[in-house]
Amino acid sequence: MAWRSFVAMGDSFTEGLNDAYPDGTFRGWADLVATRLAVDSGPDFGYANLAVRGKVMHQIVDEQLSPTLAMRPDLVSIAAGGNDALRVRVDPHALVRGLDAVVRRVRDTGADVLLFRFADVTVNLPAILGRRAAVLNDGARSIARRHGCHLVDLFADDAFRHPHMWSADRLHLSPAGHRRVAGQVLNVLGVGVTEDWMLVPPAPEPTPWLLARSADLRWAREHLAPWVGRHLLGHSSGELVTPKRPELMPIGMTE
């Protein structure tokens, strides 16, 4: 099937954090997927990316759902809940119910929907986050079955246990990670994928204990402490960020 338009909803995962173009703006898996889909669809293919880093579920719904419905795209990706899962007081089952409502509204327009089971973040982050993520992943699978969505199962992909797939902050994907996600998405959609995107380097040798603890301390100082500080003050990394592609446009065009 050749989709004529694609809208990506979500947070930093979909915005493309840490996969930079030469000018410093972010690319990410959604841009890569859109570029490949445009090959089959032609020059009139439209792509919008509404994702903004730091957004939680209710913000994604409030800020991105109505514009998405108004554009009436053929294909919509929805990836949400990751930032909610980082918070101490969160009901992951309520997040699943919210996601179900969003998917229902998008599917009612006739659009195809992409959902995700997120990669196993317990490789890098505390197990408590893993338990919350498990509820979200199980919910995404159930929603996909119920509404006939395409499900991209990153959790089942052991390649994401490789440190090369993650950036230095241990939370966002590296450029290689974004390419791997793009490859998984295109495979699920039945579209040809660049084989290089699916390559994973050999696993590195175990890090000596002292060096590993030193790296943990550096990570806590450079990434964890600033995150905690922002959230204690009620701030988000996406407060002043606007969507990079707020309207459907041909690939290669930006506002």
- Please state the domain extents for the chain: 5-198+208-249
Q: Who's near 181: CB < 8 A, 6+ residues apart?
A: 29, 152, 154, 173
Distance CA 7, CA 9 (A): 7
Token pair of 1 as six digits: 């099937």
Sheet containing 46-49: give its strands across: 150-153, 112-117, 75-79, 5-10, 46-49, 245-249
Distance CA 133, CA 82 (A): 7
The pLDDT value given to residue 100: 98
Provide the whole-model pTM. Answer: 0.86
Q: State the pLDDT confidence band at 163, using cuts at 50, 70 and 90.
A: confident
Distance CA 66, CA 72 (A): 10
pLDDT, tens digit (0-9, with 9 covering 90-100), for 192-215: 887 777 766 666 656 554 555 555
The pLDDT value given to residue 223: 47
CATH superfamily of 5-198+208-249: SGNH hydrolase (3.40.50.1110)
pLDDT, tens digit (0-9, with 9 covering 90-100), for 63-116: 999 999 999 999 999 999 988 887 778 899 999 999 999 999 999 999 999 999
